[in-house]
Structure 1
């Protein structure tokens, strides 16, 4: 069951081993499955948008940034992601997938720029 958090703590970047492209892709697939299980249809967006997915439900659109890690830890937003979080507010979601390759745990933060 995902844990809903209310804040994002910015920490120094993780090493490539902890936060790699492979972990991000594993996290992306995990999040897409989660979104479908909850009645939304996720769509990938190109790099540089400030989020990774647009997920549409019956009455809701989510702009989702995904962080996938091989361990538990804190996530940070890039300046572009932060700007988009400020712009989209309640429609912007940060999904952190910890232990992505072994035993994924999903942490979800709504409106991370203001919470």
Structure 2
């Protein structure tokens, strides 16, 4: 068993190395973008910006050492598996929690991973990235409270991307709300759908679809939800569903 596991780890080593390197590339891109924003402010005498700039420079210096250490650890892991006798003491079946609170917490974590992945991807392309997924953030960016997308990305040359982000723990269909789909219809080429699959694994996959209103075949849906605030009411919501096959066939990886 140990020999088989070691062989599996050796076979997966290139993929794991690539994932670690991509992760550090994303961090490097984030630090570079922050440094570029803070440098002019520090030159103008902003003490807070100067202190933050010094911290970022130190992080950049440390990043290369951290990358080397992380790669060294995963390269050494197969050597630590030593074949020997195995004694089975007990068997346990672990299943995902069915509690609503746990599901909601997992969904929130997956969405945050997806948002951070998209942010790092866009900043690595030199874009100015702003989260606009809440009314407060949308207003701060000069947009309506419900703009119909999660991220506003302005690339060099003022090329604008209005990005709706969807995250999945593994893979599966996604839901786009009526408001999001209407904005996709209105904005067309400026509207992008970024779907992050496998967010609960070490190797998330980002698929990008420009003008999803034109490129995707969708299925309308509607659902009811009981909400209790000062009163109990049934709220109707709807939109469209898109299969993972549609997204991967129409998108860019």
Instruction: Check whether TM > 0.5.
Output: yes
- Quote the residue 1:86 is aligned against: 185
Question: Counterpart in 2 of 1:53?
Answer: 151
After the TM superposition, list the runs of 4 or more consecutive aligned residues in structure 1 that deviate by more than 4 angstroms. Answer: none
After alignment, is 86-95 or 40-49 more displaced? 40-49
> Max radius of gyration: which structure?
2
> In structure 2, how many angstroms separate the alpha carbons of the residues matched to 1:46 and 1:28?
10
Q: Which has the higher strand share?
A: 1
Identify the match of residue 207 of structure 2 among 87, 92, 107. 107
Structure ranking higher on relative contact order (CA contacts 8 Å, 6+ apart): 1
Higher-helix-fraction structure: 2
Deviation at 1:95, TM superposition (A): 0.3
* Unaligned ranges ≥5, structure 2: 1-99, 135-145, 216-253
Deviations 1:35-89 (A, max 9, x none): 0111212101143321000000122000000001101122221100001101110
Of residues 126, 137, 162 in structure 2, which corresponds to 1:63?
A: 162
Match of 2:129 among 32, 42, 54: 42
CA–CA distance in structure 2, aligned partners of residues 101 and 31 of structure 1 = 16
Q: d(CA) in 1 for partners of 2:173 and 2:117? A: 18
1:20 corresponds in structure 2 to 107
Tell me the residue number matched to 1:33: 120
Matching residue of 1:73: 172
Q: Secondary structure at the residue paired with 2:148?
A: coil
Structure-2 separation of matches of 1:84 and 1:33: 24
TM-score by length of 2: 0.38
* Matches of 1:41 and 1:64, distance apart in 2: 13
SS of alignment partner, residue 213 of structure 2: coil
* Aligned equivalents of 1:81, 1:23: Cα separation in 2: 19
Give the 3-state SS of the residue equivalent to 1:113 in structure 2: helix
